[in-house]
Amino acid sequence: MDGDQRLEDIISALRADGKRLTIAKRTVARVLVEQTDHVTADEITRAVQRFVPDVSPSTVYRILEEFERLNLVVHAHVGHSATVYHLAGAVHGHLVCTNCGATIEIPARHFDALSGDLLKTFGFRLDRHHVAIAGLCARCSEAHAES
């Protein structure tokens, strides 16, 4: 799906919800569509402010909450404090390097075995996306082994 189509879809979902479609909302949607990475609310705010300078961080935060309520956006926790956002789409998992902070997006199927096991043994349903798995990335673990 191309970016323009995604943006149109988001805007129609917002219209269907019946709330006012502000320029700030449109701009947050555009920033998210153009974003290929996981971004924090601060990063989204700065990107939005390039187009709409008077938008406050709390406005952007409220917009993100509204987008999440409409299942347009999901968030995940990838570090000690950072909450990152992106458009809702295929479920994936996150690995985060505790040394350099790199976030790696991985296909959800890597959790299949664990997920099945947890469900069978503990009746526990794994949420693959919400919280990142911590560890050392390939580069940092190599450096770690050398030292």
Which of 9-17, 49-57, 75-83, 111-119 is the region at the interface with Zn ion (rule: CB under 5 A)? 75-83
Using CB under 5 A as the binding rule, whether residue 132 contacts Zn ion is answered as: no
Q: Between 52 and 140, name the residue whose CB sits nearer to Zn ion.
A: 140
Region near Zn ion per CB under 5 A, out of 6-14, 45-53, 64-72, 74-82: 74-82
Does 119 help bind Zn ion (rule: CB under 5 A)?
A: no
- Candidates 21, 23, 91, 100; binder of Zn ion (CB under 5 A) is 100
Q: Tell me how far apart the terminal alpha carbons of the chain are, to the nearest angstrom.
A: 46
Residues 6+ apart with CB under 8 A from 82: 40
One of 40, 49, 59, 99 touching Zn ion (CB under 5 A): 99
Residue closer to Zn ion by CB (options 52, 110) is: 110
Closest CA to 76 of 27, 19, 38: 38
Largest CA distance in the chain: 59
- Cβ proximity to Zn ion: between 14 and 39 the closer is 39
Asked if 103 is part of the footprint of Zn ion (rule: CB under 5 A), the reply reads: no
Residue with tokens 């988001």: 10
Give phi and psi for 57, each to the nearest 5: -55, -35
Report residue 37 CA to chain centroid gap: 8
Task: Name residues whose C-beta falls within 8 Å of residue 105's C-beta, 6 or more positions apart in sequence.
Answer: 38, 92, 93, 94
Stretch that binds Zn ion, among 43-51, 62-70, 73-81, 106-114 (CB under 5 A): 73-81
> Interface with Zn ion by CB under 5 A: which residues?
76, 97, 99-100, 102, 137, 140
